[in-house]
Amino acid sequence: MNPNAAEILGLEALTWLVGEDEALARFQGQTGIDGSDLRAGAGSPELAVSVFDFLLSNEDLLLKFCETSSTMPKQVHVARHILST
């Protein structure tokens, strides 16, 4: 996976998360990021890493995202690593 693919996966994860009301509320509560911050940060590596960290900390959400996006959980780990370096 290259940085562009990692950023695209980050956008996919953010888009998915925005559609999950309960999970989004937990994410916002944990990170303090509000709706305007989400819009402003969409596409940034920092926000993608935050979304990946949130998903990786909750296996049920991670698996739900991966099933919806046809992504292997390992790809989320790899993307997170690429964007955090």
For 6-46, the pLDDT digits (tens) are: 999 999 999 999 999 999 999 999 999 998 999 999 889 99
Residue 51: pLDDT band with limits 50, 70, 90: very high
Helix (H), strand (E) at residue 38:
helix 35-41
Tokens encoding 47? 């926000």
Residue 81: pLDDT band with limits 50, 70, 90: very high
d(CA 20, CA 44): 20
pTM (2 d.p.): 0.92
d(CA 37, CA 80): 20
d(CA 62, CA 52): 9
Q: Please, what is the average pLDDT of the chain?
A: 95
